[in-house]
A and B are shown apart, each in its own frame.
Chain A
Amino acid sequence: MANLLMFHGRECPHCRRMMPLVEKLEEETAVRFDKHEIWHDEKNADLMRSFKPIITPKCGGQLRVPTFINTGTNDVICGEVDYDKLKAWALKK
């Protein structure tokens, strides 16, 4: 299964709204996200920065959170999406 990363911020309202959807998806499917909080953990921040060339074209030229990355395909979504869109993205080959 592809390696799926989620970058999020502790005080980011978008991230707080997405987290329950991520957890629901993990409960209902075999999908698993490696979750990385980026404002209170500099290692996680550096990891997100390492994906800057992949993330920024999809995220308004910036490193925004929440951002989801499939490290197998470099497919990226950022911001709030509904559960069905997140699920379809996560299960995409």
Chain B
Amino acid sequence: MKKRYWRCFVCNDIHYGIAPPELCPTCKVLNAYVEITAAEARKILGGGAEVDFTPADFRQAIERFTASNEFMVNPDAERVEILLQGIFENEKNHGFKFCPCRLRTKDWDEDLRLICPCNFTIHETYKGVPDGECWCGLFVRRK
């Protein structure tokens, strides 16, 4: 089987393998890995390349990412469509799939925390909120 790249959505650890680790070896969070492209992995690790990942590919990646989690992709298709447009515009113009509803600060470490999916589970819009969602609303707590 072909190996692929995976990123921990909490601590940005990168994994290269046929499947993501269940447990992040660095931050110890379960089900934390989302598939990314090789180009994204290289950029996070200090390289740089064009990304060949369509919005449909990304949509599939986040669907798989959420499948074993307590949150899911927002069923509001119109909202998801707008957000995916913004995420890909941001990648084209600014290098990463930054959240369209926040602004990068130009601090490398701070800005890595804005890459979608971000670790929204610690944000006040989600943590402890029964109908919580990430700031932009791409991810919502599963009912």
Question: What residues of B have a CB within 8 angstroms of the CB of A9 in the complex?
Answer: 86, 100-101, 103
Check: A52 CB closer than 8 A to any chain B CB: yes
A64 contact from B86, B93, B101, Cβ within 8 A: B101
Check: B63 CB closer than 8 A to any chain A CB: no
CB distance from B97 to the nearest CB of A (A): 12
| Count of chain B residues with a beta carbon within 8 Å of a chain A beta carbon | 24
Contact with B along A49-78 (1 / 0, CB 8 A): 100100000001011110000000000000
CB distance from B46 to the nearest CB of A (A): 24
A16-B82, A39-B89 as given contacts; A60 in contact with B123, CB under 8 Å: yes
A13 contact from B82, B87, B94, B125, Cβ within 8 A: B82
User: Considering the chains assembled together, what is the distance between the CA atoms of A11 and B136 in angstroms?
Assistant: 10
Question: What residues of B have a CB within 8 angstroms of the CB of A11 in the complex?
Answer: 82-83, 85-87, 89, 100
**Contact A49–B101 (Cβ < 8 Å):** no
Check: B50 CB closer than 8 A to any chain A CB: no
Chain B's closest residue to A14 (CB) is B101
Check: B79 CB closer than 8 A to any chain A CB: yes
Question: What residues of B have a CB within 8 angstroms of the CB of A15 in the complex?
Answer: 101
Chain A's closest residue to B137 (CB) is A13
Question: What residues of A have a CB within 8 angstroms of the CB of B79 in the complex?
Answer: 13
A39-B86, A39-B89 as given contacts; A13 in contact with B105, CB under 8 Å: no
Question: What residues of B have a CB within 8 angstroms of the CB of A10 in the complex?
Answer: 86, 89, 100
Question: What residues of B have a CB within 8 angstroms of the CB of A4 in the complex?
Answer: none
- Partner-A contacts on B (CB < 8 A): 79, 82-83, 85-87, 89-90, 93-94, 98, 100-106, 123-125, 135-137
- Partner-B contacts on A (CB < 8 A): 7, 9-16, 38-40, 45, 48-49, 52, 60, 62-65
